[in-house]
Amino acid sequence: MGKALGRLRRLPEIECFFPKTMGEALSLLKRYNGKARVFTGGTDLLPKMKRREVVPRYLIGLNGIPDLTFIKYEKEKGLRIGTATTLNEILESSIVHRRYPILLEAVSQMASTQVRNVGTIGGNLCNAVPSADTAPPLIVLGAQLKIVGPNPRKERRVLVEDFFKGPDRTVLDSNELVSEIQIPPPSSKAYGTYIKHTLRREMDLAIVGVAVWFVLDSKKNICKDVKIALGAVAPIPMRAKKAEAILRGKPLDEDLIESAATMASEESKPIDDIRGSAEYRREMVKVLTKRAIQQSLEKI
Ligand SMILES: Cc1cc2nc3c(=O)[nH]c(=O)nc-3n(C[C@H](O)[C@H](O)[C@H](O)COP(=O)(O)OP(=O)(O)OC[C@H]3O[C@@H](n4cnc5c(N)ncnc54)[C@H](O)[C@@H]3O)c2cc1C
């Protein structure tokens, strides 16, 4: 008991800034190079600070910057979501409902109303845990992140699938931040599903998360393109590319789906932890990949 309380002891003094523009936030990051952390909802960062996994000297709140909170859709360019957009704002977005239902499936299964009121899509990605629920759907949707830093000429875009480097690690430098998530326009012949497996329905991290997305030909028979992304079964959210290759260019019959699901399970690299054993997770990847493809086919 004493030990547990000891681990959650009071934080040292931390100076907090709440910039009103992205320029101000970036110059603060540069000024306190490496000693400052940005945050939005703080639902991941503050518990980590309490556990002393990170103890920044300075905190920079991004949630007062209007340029980071928006959801915009253009038919030709697709969807852009500001990084400080809360999970509940995404849940309430009619355009996400109509055009990107797989993202909605993920967000609606995350946390509680209270946590979703402050927790953000950018925070979920930048926290870089393998179980981040928005990662698998964003990977299969081909989403990319706009990354900005002190030098405007070095602004870059990185696919969500290339953003993660390991647990708690991303391609971001210490003075960079993610400003928005960009998702290509959806195809009318694309179908997808995200399934999150947990012991409790919400308020729990995924034991396994599977996102499946495919595009069918004009006769809705042949799988023209496909992506499968897995969460919580490797050090980073990952694509199951060998499983995808089994499906690409072929009609999605039962034997093929079974082979692809088995391959996805073989490609996964889970570990044992308190939520489940590696063996159980591998088996669940197979079950859920198959189920996600079948559920997507039911949407045709
Ligand atoms: C009770 C509870 C239940 C939860 N349930 C789920 C769940 O079901 N599924 C799930 O995936 N997560 C869950 N979470 C985790 C968390 O709520 C989400 O990951 C949330 O989306 C984090 O957003 P945030 O704005 O609070 O992030 P913050 O805590 O503000 O930030 C997280 C990290 O990202 C960095 N960061 C934030 N924004 C940026 C940016 N723009 N650029 C660069 N770095 C940035 C911060 O420095 C920090 O390291 C839960 C958390 C709690 C407390």
Tell me what pLDDT residue 201 has: 66
Rounded Cα–Cα distance for residues 124 and 58 (Å): 21
| Protein residue closest via CA to atom 6 of ligand 1 | 111
Ligand 1: centre distance to CA 89 (Å): 15
| Protein residue closest via CA to atom 13 of ligand 1 | 111
In one-letter notation, the amino acid at residue 136 is P
In one-letter notation, the amino acid at residue 267 is E
Torsion region of 52: left, alpha or beta (phi above 0 gives left; psi -120 to 50 gives alpha): left
Structure confidence by residue, pLDDT tens digits, 59-103: 999 999 999 999 999 999 999 999 999 999 999 999 999 999 999
Atom of ligand 1 nearest to the CA of 115: 17
Ligand 1: centre distance to CA 281 (Å): 23
| Protein residue closest via CA to atom 4 of ligand 1 | 111
Ligand 1: centre distance to CA 262 (Å): 32
Tell me what pLDDT residue 204 has: 87
User: 153, 196 in Cβ contact below 8 A?
Assistant: no
Q: Is the beta carbon of 116 within 6 A of some atom in ligand 1?
A: no
Rounded Cα–Cα distance for residues 56 and 36 (Å): 6
Name, in order, each residue with C-beta under 8 angstroms of 273's C-beta and a sequence gap of 6 or more: none
Instruction: Compare 221 and 106 and report the one with higher pLDDT.
Output: 106
Q: Residues 40-49: what's their mean pLDDT?
A: 96
pLDDT class for 199, splitting at 50, 70, 90? confident
Tell me what pLDDT residue 1 has: 38
Rounded Cα–Cα distance for residues 57 and 282 (Å): 41
- 153, with CB counted inside 10 A (0-12, 13-18, 19+), is exposed
Name, in order, each residue with C-beta under 8 angstroms of 36's C-beta and a sequence gap of 6 or more: 28, 29, 56, 57, 58, 59, 60
pTM greater than 0.85 (yes/no): yes
